[in-house]
Amino acid sequence: MQVHTVFGSITDYTKGTIELVSGEARHYVFSNVFEVAAKSRPYERVVVARNMEYVQEVMRADGVSPWFACGHDEFALCMDGEITVDFIRMKVPPSADKNGAVLLGDAPEGARMGHVKLKRGHQVLLGAGNAYRFTATRLGVLMQQTVLGDLSVQKWREICFT
Amino acid sequence: MAANVAQVVASEPSNRNGYRSFRLGRFELSRDEYFVTVHWPAKGAKRSHQMPADAFLRACMRDVAWNFFYGWVNFDHVIGTRNHYGKVDFYAGTFNGTLKEAGVDYLEQFDADHIMATFKAMLRDWVNEGFGPFAAPVETGTAYGPKQGDNIAAIERIRIATRRMPGLPGDSPLRDDMPVNRAFADVPQDEPEIHAEPGFEGQLHAFSLFKYLSRSDVTWNPSVTAVCKASLACPTTEEFILPVFHGNDRVEWFIQLSDEIVWDVGDKNTGAPRARVTMKAGDVAAMPADIRHQGYSTKRSMLYVWENVTPGLPQRYESGELSPYPVDF
């Protein structure tokens, strides 16, 4: 029998359901990363999961992103598309106690470290103190494990079952 | 620590079916060809409960492998453990609304070492040759029948600890030497391309998480693949039924990476049903801190379990300082 593993994509996904017995659907804070990315601006960091200060953010990978940096480790998981990540070792990295990612200018100071090419299911380390920039060779979706920061966008009413 | 803390109280093997019985405080646990039976005292009488041996062993295996996990690990609607991180409760009926109200429940607290040693001894004795309590039913033999051999290798797995991300120097390994599971035969096995500039060799890191998961040899076993301070990504591969009904002492989140899982959600204290949550690829859902959940997955699927291991959370949820729901909107 042929195996068929079902993955989602920004152009082909099916959102699940909640059958309630008691309580409220909004307590499950239920969304779908592909739907969120489909309705977001390019590289908007939309929070889809929050556990106190920790978050999972979804990005629509569309064209070239700004340069980002972070004082702590972050991780990006490519959920759809093909995405190149460029890295710069920053001369002056963000403080380690600054939570979440920050925006840098067009040309952050520092040495080019190289790049990583991601496809669906690939996870990359966005190491503390390194600047990073995404380039989508086709429309895609990224999920980032990080901490709530200045760039985190919370719009729960727009993305969740209520 | 006292030398006798971990001492296991076990009978000689039964003449009838070959299995030992175990005593854990005032609980008695035994198994026969089909069932595990638990006895405890309540209201001056001896009470009992039975579970199919395969279901009990799958649940006990997870509890051991997870080191009692977070919060409540219900083996079924009657028995289970609650982790106090150093101490562990074993209970019968305490988190079943009807049994609790009738006063026929019983809970006893143990040193974690003692209950762990007893559970491991039960697994060593009660898991027969050919039965893998970590495997999905179509992947393994039967748990039933009289004692026949053992499967020590299946139950003595070493838990993989990841400090930052698998594949980094000095961190947990990737799974290149493990075979792709038959249910993930179509999952691409290519790795990300890493192009480091001279002088930065080995300083960029990426791997294929979906390939890594496609080679998982166990089901329902969250393993850490990314550490952001106290935020742990713990993806796992799921098939058949989660062998326990997990009631967490904190909020956790699920992100469905592939295929589909249905979650039965009930009240954490009474077990009363609250919802059935169907998650398909890309779906994200919180499991609030006041529920218990059990998942069903027909096809082996990839699930990203996301935990917050900040110390002291159980007390903050229990005191009401933190809402059981992670986001108010």
The pLDDT confidence band at residue B154, using thresholds 50, 70 and 90, is confident
Task: Give the number of A-B residue pairs with CB atoms closer than 8 Å.
Answer: 227
List, as ranges, residues 291-320 from B with C-beta within 8 Å of A. 299, 306, 308, 310
Map residue A40 onto helix, strand or coil.
Answer: coil
The pLDDT confidence band at residue B2, using thresholds 50, 70 and 90, is very low
What tens digit of pLDDT does each residue of B228-258 get? 999 999 999 999 999 999 999 999 999 999 9
- Kindly state whether B278 is in contact with chain A, defined as any CB-CB distance less than 8 angstroms: yes
- Kindly state whether A122 is in contact with chain B, defined as any CB-CB distance less than 8 angstroms: yes
List, as ranges, residues 48-87 from A with C-beta within 8 Å of B. 48-52, 54, 56, 72-75, 77, 79, 87
List, as ranges, residues 209-228 from B with C-beta within 8 Å of A. 209-211, 225-228
Q: How many residues does chain B have?
A: 329
Give B321's contacts (C-beta < 8 A, 6+ positions apart): none
What tens digit of pLDDT does each residue of A8-64 get? 999 999 999 999 999 999 999 999 999 999 999 999 999 999 999 999 999 999 999
Predicted local distance difference test score (pLDDT) of residue B155: 85
Q: Comparing C-alpha atoms, which of B166, B192, B186 is closest to residue B259? A: B186
The pLDDT confidence band at residue B158, using thresholds 50, 70 and 90, is confident
Residues of A in contact with B256 (CB under 8 A): 16
- The nearest alpha carbon in chain B to A51 belongs to B326
Q: In chain B, what percentage of residues exceed pLDDT 90?
A: 95
Residue A79's region, left for phi above 0, alpha for psi from -120 to 50, else beta, is alpha
Considering only CB atoms, B253 lies closest to which of A18, A49, A113, namely A49
The pLDDT confidence band at residue A107, using thresholds 50, 70 and 90, is confident
What tens digit of pLDDT does each residue of B261-303 get? 999 999 999 999 999 999 999 999 999 999 999 999 999 999 9
- DSSP state at residue A97: T
Q: What is the pTM of this model?
A: 0.95
Map residue A38 onto helix, strand or coil.
Answer: helix
- Kindly state whether B257 is in contact with chain A, defined as any CB-CB distance less than 8 angstroms: yes
Predicted local distance difference test score (pLDDT) of residue B4: 54
Q: What mean pLDDT is predicted for residues B56-69?
A: 95
Is residue B6 predicted with pLDDT exceeding 80? Answer: no
**What gap in Å lies between CA B105 and CA A44, rounded to an integer?**
52
Is residue A106 predicted with pLDDT exceeding 90? Answer: no
Give the mean pLDDT of chain B.
96
Residue ranges and CATH numbers for the domains of chain B are: 9-154 (no CATH), 160-194+204-216+219-328 (2.60.120.10)
Q: What mean pLDDT is predicted for residues B96-115?
A: 98
**What gap in Å lies between CA A77 and CA B289, rounded to an integer?**
26
Predicted local distance difference test score (pLDDT) of residue B156: 84
**Residue of B214, B228, B298 to mutate, interface with A, max A Cβ within 10 Å:** B228
- Note whether B188 contacts A119, CB cutoff 8 Å: yes
- The nearest alpha carbon in chain A to B283 belongs to A32
Which comes out higher in pLDDT, residue A160 or B3?
A160
Q: What mean pLDDT is predicted for residues B154-177?
A: 92
The pLDDT confidence band at residue B1, using thresholds 50, 70 and 90, is very low
Predicted local distance difference test score (pLDDT) of residue B3: 45
The CATH number of A25-160 is 2.60.120.10
